[in-house]
Chain A
Amino acid sequence: AQKVTQAQTEISVVEKEDVTLDCVYETRDTTYYLFWYKQPPSGELVFLIRRNSFDEQNEISGRYSWNFQKSTSSFNFTITASQVVDSAVYFCALSEAPDGATNKLIFGTGTLLAVQP
């Protein structure tokens, strides 16, 4: 069965600190996709990144970086030099890719990140 675990419910950091949000997933499929979405206080879901199961290359985008490790079924997200505007709930999500079917997203419970000035 598919499952996404975000063990950190809340994290509080001071501005300019680095912070890592953990995500562990379970799936039986060999082809799957992992995502991170940001939900700011305004409530919308903002897509941040998508990763394919066959591409373990880590990615960096500005202050954001993602570490995908299939060996530990983890897809962690690091924000470097955090800013107050990074304060949000961050969701990790998993999608399997059954042939011919739509790909529902299975979300983790989210991590609330509070960045203090």
Chain B
Amino acid sequence: EPEVTQTPSHQVTQMGQEVILRCVPISNHLYFYWYRQILGQKVEFLVSFYNNEISEKSEIFDDQFSVERPDGSNFTLKIRSTKLEDSAMYFCASNRRPGREGLETQYFGPGTRLLVL
């Protein structure tokens, strides 16, 4: 069964460093998402991406964050200058199509646990 994959599973970085989290969505999916979950808290939406551009982003997704689909398979989240409060689990998700046309479920990757020291 196809699945979303994420690398690395864990990353430790120093405050102020740049990190890139990688995701490979399910191959026939067209819509991609990043969410984060601070330890012990709920899962929060960061950004959605379709047709090589951001379609929606949350207040959390400030100028320190960026997303990219550098090739036909990868979808990345970059944090330019990490802060302590960026420590969280980051989940990538994908689906084929959203909205009123017929919602497709978002399937989540296993997550990347980021620790900023």
Report how far A59 CA is from B44 CA in the complex, Å: 27
Which listed residue, B48, B50, B107, touches A104 by the CB 8 Å rule?
A: B48
Interface contact A102-B107, CB-CB below 8 Å: no
Interface contact B48-A95, CB-CB below 8 Å: no
* B79 at the A interface (CB under 8 A): no
Interface contact B103-A102, CB-CB below 8 Å: no
Classify chain B: how many residues form its interface, as a range: 20 to 34
Chain A residues in 8 Å Cβ range of B99: 97-103
Report how far A44 CA is from B35 CA in the complex, Å: 12
Chain B residues in 8 Å Cβ range of A91: 42-43
The segment from A16-24, A60-68, A75-83, A107-115 that touches chain B is: A107-115
Interface contact A47-B107, CB-CB below 8 Å: yes
Report how far A25 CA is from B96 CA in the complex, Å: 25
Question: Which label, helix, strand, loop or mixed, suits the secondary structure of the A interface?
Answer: loop
- Of A31, A33, A44, chain B has the most CB atoms within 10 Å of the CB of A44
Chain A residues in 8 Å Cβ range of B42: 91, 107-110
* B91 at the A interface (CB under 8 A): yes
**What are the interface flags for B100-114 relative to A under an 8 Å C-beta threshold, 1 for contact and 0 otherwise?**
100101111111010
Known: A50-B105, A105-B33. 19 other contacts (CB 8 A): A43-B89, A43-B110, A43-B113, A45-B111, A91-B42, A95-B103, A97-B99, A101-B56, A101-B98, A102-B31, A102-B50, A103-B95, A103-B98, A103-B106, A104-B56, A107-B42, A107-B44, A109-B42, A110-B42
